[in-house]
Chain A
């Protein structure tokens, strides 16, 4: 149990996919315009990562080394197809707003990286813990970015239609730049620098 906990916590801080490994930057920047999108994306990534980690961990001894990457990609693509269909059927709003970034989970480096670096070498329970930890780390990063972008860019915060609060001045004159693409680069650049300043990224 202790080791499983360790794999879980590791993914949140030490190998935080976005801030430390700088993986999965494309979706982190592109869909972090609102908290809804951030949570939707996390849900999609979680389902794909969990599924692919379990299957890859199960078949890790049966797959010849030389064809392992193509095998992983086909497995991941299958799970992404399933997730895309599920979103299309049950969460049409999120399906629309995530756009091509939902199918693009296939090429999200986080998932292939975990398959290659972890699930193909470790037993199934550890792989599940790894998937959970990485997802929570990914979610925290996405929530942090989208919290700042939505708050500064629209002047108010709401989640799944529930209005949380409106900022006094920004509510009338929001800094739209934060919702636009350059704002994403700005927020993530400053967050990365902040993480380094706090010493979390020692030795990179």
Chain B
């Protein structure tokens, strides 16, 4: 149990996907301008990550490893993720049209979000059990959502702030990421 909590906290806070591992930067800088969008984007990514972790674990340990074809991992993982994203996209389109429109291009782009492929590769690399993989994916997804939400709050203020012309937009957002990253170092001691 303690081990699972350690994995969760490490994925969510200490080795935060965005600030420490540089995974999922595109949505971090692209989508995070409104709090609502940031939260739903984070939820969608967390959902896809968790399911991808389960499915890839099963495929890897039940099919690829027994048959000795581990070199197919990258191809199989990306196909699993692409199909999952399609399912999530269909689901959101049917249930919440406003949310679907708010996501715009970023929903299909989850496929090429390195955070999702990243968590499946990390799980495989660390040889986590099925339960640990799910916990790791949940932690990573929630950590991603947290940082996205924090960032969106700051971005709303930055939009109206008087920053130098050459710093407007991406550069100043990155400077905010520097400060956030330094803040998250504070979590380093908790595990």
How near does chain B come to A102, taking the closest CB pair, in angstroms?
A: 10
In the assembled complex, the Cα of A189 lies from the Cα of B20 at a distance in Å of 16
Q: Is B2 an interface residue (CB 8 A)?
A: no
Q: Which residues of chain B are near A112, meaning CB under 8 Å?
A: 112
* Majority DSSP secondary structure for residues of A touching B: helix
How near does chain B come to A95, taking the closest CB pair, in angstroms?
A: 12
Q: Which residues of chain A are near B78, meaning CB under 8 Å?
A: 73-74, 77, 106-107
Is the pair A181, B181 in contact by a Cβ cutoff of 8 Å?
yes
Residue in contact with B82 in the complex, picked from A73, A84, A85, A180, CB distance below 8 Å:
A73
Greatest chain A CB density within 10 A among B22, B26, B117 is at B22
Q: Is A47 an interface residue (CB 8 A)?
A: no
Q: Which residues of chain A are near B72, meaning CB under 8 Å?
A: 81
Is the pair B117, A107 in contact by a Cβ cutoff of 8 Å?
yes
In the assembled complex, the Cα of A100 lies from the Cα of B123 at a distance in Å of 11
Is the pair B25, A100 in contact by a Cβ cutoff of 8 Å?
no
In the assembled complex, the Cα of A181 lies from the Cα of B20 at a distance in Å of 5
Greatest chain A CB density within 10 A among B82, B112, B117 is at B112
How near does chain A come to B141, taking the closest CB pair, in angstroms?
A: 16
Tell me the residues in window 175-204 of chain A with beta carbons closer than 8 Å to chain B beta carbons: 180-186, 188-190, 192-194, 196-197, 204
Q: Which residues of chain A are near B122, meaning CB under 8 Å?
A: 100
Taking A70-B82, A100-B118, A112-B112 as contacts, is the C-beta distance between A193 and B171 under 8 angstroms? yes
Q: Is B74 an interface residue (CB 8 A)?
A: yes
Interface size class of B (residues with CB under 8 A): 35 or more
Is the pair B175, A189 in contact by a Cβ cutoff of 8 Å?
yes
> What is the interface size of chain A, counting residues whose CB is below 8 A from a CB of the partner?
39
Q: Which residues of chain A are near B169, meaning CB under 8 Å?
A: 204
Q: Is B172 an interface residue (CB 8 A)?
A: yes
Q: Is B54 an interface residue (CB 8 A)?
A: no
Interface 1/0 per residue, A28-49 and B, CB below 8 Å: 0110000000000000000000
Q: Which residues of chain A are near B181, meaning CB under 8 Å?
A: 180-182, 185
Tell me the residues in window 115-144 of chain B with beta carbons closer than 8 Å to chain A beta carbons: 117-118, 121-122, 125
Tell me the residues in window 98-114 of chain A with beta carbons closer than 8 Å to chain B beta carbons: 100, 103-104, 106-109, 112
In the assembled complex, the Cα of A184 lies from the Cα of B21 at a distance in Å of 11
Q: Which residues of chain B are near A196, meaning CB under 8 Å?
A: 165-166, 171
Residue in contact with B25 in the complex, picked from A26, A85, A189, CB distance below 8 Å:
A26
Select from chain B the residue with minimum beta-carbon distance to A27.
Answer: B22
In the assembled complex, the Cα of A178 lies from the Cα of B113 at a distance in Å of 25
Residue in contact with B170 in the complex, picked from A74, A78, A192, A197, CB distance below 8 Å:
A192
Is the pair A189, B171 in contact by a Cβ cutoff of 8 Å?
yes
Q: Is B79 an interface residue (CB 8 A)?
A: yes
Interface 1/0 per residue, A158-178 and B, CB below 8 Å: 000000000000000000000
Could you list 20 further interchain pairs (A-B, Cβ under 8 angstroms) beyond the known A73-B82, A185-B181? A22-B29, A25-B26, A26-B24, A70-B82, A73-B78, A73-B111, A77-B78, A100-B118, A104-B121, A181-B21, A182-B177, A182-B181, A184-B22, A185-B174, A186-B178, A188-B174, A189-B177, A192-B174, A193-B166, A193-B167
Can you list 27 A-B pairs with a CB-CB distance of less than 8 A? A25-B25, A27-B22, A70-B82, A73-B79, A74-B75, A74-B78, A77-B75, A80-B74, A81-B71, A81-B72, A100-B125, A103-B117, A106-B78, A107-B113, A180-B181, A181-B19, A182-B181, A183-B178, A185-B175, A188-B174, A189-B167, A189-B171, A189-B175, A189-B177, A192-B174, A193-B167, A194-B166
A contacts, CB < 8 Å to B: 22, 25-27, 29-30, 70, 73-74, 77-78, 80-81, 84-85, 100, 103-104, 106-109, 112, 180-186, 188-190, 192-194, 196-197, 204
